[in-house]
Amino acid sequence: MKIDQPHAWPLTVEEAIAIQEKLRNQVITEDIFKEPVRYVAGVDMGFEADGTISRAAVAVLSFPDLQVVETSLARRPTTFPYIPGFLSFREIPAVLDALEKIQIIPDIILCDGQGIAHPRRLGIASHLGLIIDIPTIGVAKSLLIGKHEDLPENRGSLQPLTHRGETIGAVLRTRTGVKPVYISSGHRVSLPTAINYVLRCTPKYRLPETTRIADKLASAR
């Protein structure tokens, strides 16, 4: 997969904020992709050597049967600290390296993190989608910003996630009686479509199969 990587990544929070503010209005939260979707992918991160080395994993699965068709790993030095709201600057450089190794280009990428459910509406899923121009969905395990009503316990239950009077995502229970996940548009995918694909990618467990497989690769030793 050929990627036009940024020539330089910011080293300070101030530089990162400036990039987020510049890119936020370029994010598309409507469906712009071809169907039927044949391949979905997950990206996830692990760290080695006390966090000084980033280890990125990509797992490409066939859709809708969710069978692994390709995986890749990439390592590079970590250049940005862990700061909530700025994970894309810490993680995307290695993710891009891993994506460059794959041959099958996914139709949609599910990211372990936020899309527009972010203070400046540019979480890792949105940022990655803009760079590679592939539809992305944010599937986060925890709440970063926003409020929502209580969620019923059954699978498929959802509530809007709002922030400053704007719907920025949804809280979705993917498995009965298990903690929900936080869904938001990344890039070129609407929220209803994002919810639909997340449910179809979570047939058994709380997290999408794409995320589960990428996580195992990223954390393996």
C-beta of residue 198 within 8 angstroms of C-beta of residue 169: no
Greatest C-alpha distance within the chain = 46
Can you give the pLDDT at residue 47? 93
The β-bridge partners of 54 are: 47, 76
How far is C-alpha 12 from the geometric centre of its chain's CA atoms? 22
Relative to beta strand 108-111, strand 136-140 is parallel
Taking only the tens of pLDDT, the chain with its 221 residues reads: 889 878 689 989 999 999 999 999 999 999 999 999 999 999 999 999 998 999 999 999 999 999 999 999 999 999 999 999 999 999 999 999 999 999 999 999 999 999 999 999 999 999 999 999 999 999 999 999 999 999 999 999 999 999 999 999 999 999 999 999 999 999 999 999 999 999 999 999 999 999 999 999 998 65
Can you give the pLDDT at residue 220? 63
Residue 19, token pair as written in the block: 């990039």
C-beta of residue 144 within 8 angstroms of C-beta of residue 85: yes
E strands along the chain, which residues? 39-48, 53-62, 68-77, 108-111, 136-140, 158-163, 166-172, 181-187
What is the rounded end-to-end Cα distance, in angstroms, of the chain? 26
Give the containing element (helix H, strand E) for 19. Answer: helix 13-23
Residues 6 or more apart in contact with residue 72 via CB below 8 angstroms? 57, 58, 98, 99, 101, 102
- Closest to 39 in 3D by CA, of 137, 106, 111, 103: 106
Can you give the pLDDT at residue 7? 65
Q: Is 69 helix (H, G, I), strand (E, B) or coil?
A: strand
Q: What's the Cα-to-Cα distance from 151 to each of 113, 116, 184, 208, rounded to whole Å?
A: 20, 21, 17, 19
What is the per-residue pLDDT across 110-150, written as a single tens digit (0 to 9) for each? 999 999 999 999 999 999 999 999 999 999 999 999 999 99
Residue 60, token pair as written in the block: 């490409």
Residues 6 or more apart in contact with residue 98 via CB below 8 angstroms? 43, 56, 57, 58, 72, 73, 74
Residue 48, token pair as written in the block: 């080695």
